[in-house]
Structures are given as C-alpha cells and as structure tokens.
Structure 1
Amino acid sequence: MLSPLPSSIIAITVLTAVTVFILITRQQEKPKKKSYDSKVLLKELLESFGLEIPVELEEPKETVISSAKRH
C-alpha cells in the first residue's frame, strides 16, 4: 500500500500537467483570433482610404454544395 505522500505528489503532478495543457491550448487559439482581427482592421482601413484590397485580405466566398437525395 502506498503512503499518503507519494499519492499526493502524483495528484499534484497530474493536476499541474492538466493545468499546463489547458493554458498552452488556450494560448495557441489566441493568435488565430488576433490575426483575423488584424486582417479585418487592415481591410477596413484600406477601404476607408479608397485603396485596393489585396487578394489575401478578401474573405473566401462560401461555396454551397447541395446533395440530391434519391428515394
């Protein structure tokens, strides 16, 4: 049987690992949103000055694909 000390060390280690994992995944999501927000701001500024919008800043057009069901 394990003494309480190693069990508590294992529990603390697992909780720390889970916390670090959550923090890392949240940090990786933030740059995507920030990048998108920056592109939107740049596009709005270019439009307000009447300048040409580069293709990279154009939003992709959504393609609607419908499927036909056969009975």
Structure 2
Amino acid sequence: MWWFAPEQQRWVIQPLIDAGMAQDAICALLYRFAVDADGLEVVHDQPPPIRAAWTHTIDRMLMLPGPVD
C-alpha cells in the first residue's frame, strides 16, 4: 500500500467537491468504492452532477502513477 501527497488526493476528489459533495459523504463514497466491485453502482442513487463528478474522479484515479517496483 502506498499513499499520495495531500495535494494529489485533493486533486482526485476535487470534481466531487466542486459538485457540492460534503467531505464526509466523499469519504463514505470512497469507502463504498473500495468495498464494492462496481464503481458506477456506488453512485447510482446520487444526483446527476455527483454521478458526472464521480466519472471525473475515477478518471483522475486512473491517471495517478502506480507503485514502483
């Protein structure tokens, strides 16, 4: 397991913040994502702006570098 710098973490979740999601709701969403297999299913009950922001958040997660061997 590795951690990213706080500015990288903030960059990843910024679309959700911009969409108006509260920090505790973001934490809960990320926890659900870590536990559930379906990334889109975790936001199925959210309003469209949050679902769109989640797509951008996933894109940003995928842009981060992986672990160095």
Same fold (TM over 0.5): no
Query: TM-score, length-normalised on structure 1?
Result: 0.28
Kindly indicate whether structure 1 or structure 2 has the higher relative contact order, using CA contacts under 8 Å at least 6 residues apart. 2
Instruction: State the structure with more CA Rg.
Output: 1
